[in-house]
Structure 1
Amino acid sequence: MYNAIGIFRTQADLDNNPHVSGAKIGDLIYEDYNRDGVLNADDMSMSKYGNIPQITYGFNFNASYKNFDLSVLFAGQARVSQYVLPESGSIGNFYSSWADNRFSPSNPNGSFPKVTERAGNAISGGAYKNNFWLNNSSFLRLKNVELAYNLKGDFLSKIKVSGVRIFASAFNLFTITKVKDYDPEGSSESGQFYPQQRIINLGANVKF
């Protein structure tokens, strides 16, 4: 993919940098990787990491104290990148980070390139696949945590109950990641995947 090194903010930027045909102010600047003064496929390079993590890991913790017990599970991945160019424009919505921080005449210092009718075939998008849309998708996620209390006492036998366990559990309670706009566990390059849901349960197990 092409290495994005900035945004054309002025006509001088456009005049002084090699660029693909049709590039305009507000588009991404691509690096002339081989320094031949021409921007073409010879300037593409491989990304350091792909979307299959080189490291996956997890660890759990279990503890009990008197009538309480606690279970915690963490999971994560590292040395992994995910390319996501959201389908946007006439066929979808822009991520708010792109829409709110896009380059425009009223926002010449925007951190994202200008928006177009369709990102998939834009110069700063799918027409020239580039690492601006490549994110470090490493994460550490609290996958599951459960806290429970086991009721004990003579009164249980009086009502013909052998045990009661009251619990609260949560899934995907929080995630530490540099990815802001999508779930780092997603794998769709268009961003069209459903994120992991945060689920909280309260309940009780009764044994007769």
Structure 2
Amino acid sequence: MTNLLHLDSSHSGDSVSRRLSSLFAETWRERHGEAGYRYRNLAADPVPLISPAYCALGRRVERHGYVSPAKVPSLVEGATEGREWALTLPLIEELLAADTVLVGGPMYNFSVSASLKAWIDRVTFPGAYADPDSGESLLRGTRVVVVTARGGAYGPGTPREGFDFQEPYLRTYFTNLGVAEEDLAFVHAEMTLASLVPDLAHLQPVAERSLAAARAAITDLVARS
């Protein structure tokens, strides 16, 4: 079975990133069916922030080398750590089960939203994605598609190119977990505020072209899934 984990992280009621990620997900389900589809709206149903107990458990696990999630309960000390692990394990299992991870993410303050960062912090538990025998990443072969919306323009050659801490961060994060560079794709819709901010109104045609290009890129990516 082919599995898609779909994450949204926009707090906007009229979210461009959510509309675009929905396009990917709906087209994917037409091709593969509903059975392998898992959705999380990280803004509407936020992942709890990690706590000192989470960090204490993580450090204890690190001291034991590569520990599979199945063996973590034997290292849990106390009810608080037990609750932290109970919040964390389902997220790890979802990520490990996915053949494709779809991330819908707006750019907030030049980077990712707090809701997406909370998921990243909790799901990145020591040793969870390493083969306990070889140390090789269990995410090798997992495909990640990141669909973003940016109020301004941050692409190559734009004045704010150097302000983009969203794609470099997510690219570094997923490749560090073991996702291959060739299995990581980014689709950006830019100038999404052009229809709302009067000073950007003259850039509305740029925004429309960027949105159309993003939709075309998504359709192409699904076709190759």
Per the normalisation by structure 2, the TM-score is: 0.23
Bigger relative CO (Cα 8 Å, ≥ 6 apart): 2
Q: Going by fraction, where is strand more abundant, 1 or 2?
A: 1
Per the normalisation by structure 1, the TM-score is: 0.24
Q: Going by fraction, where is helix more abundant, 1 or 2?
A: 2
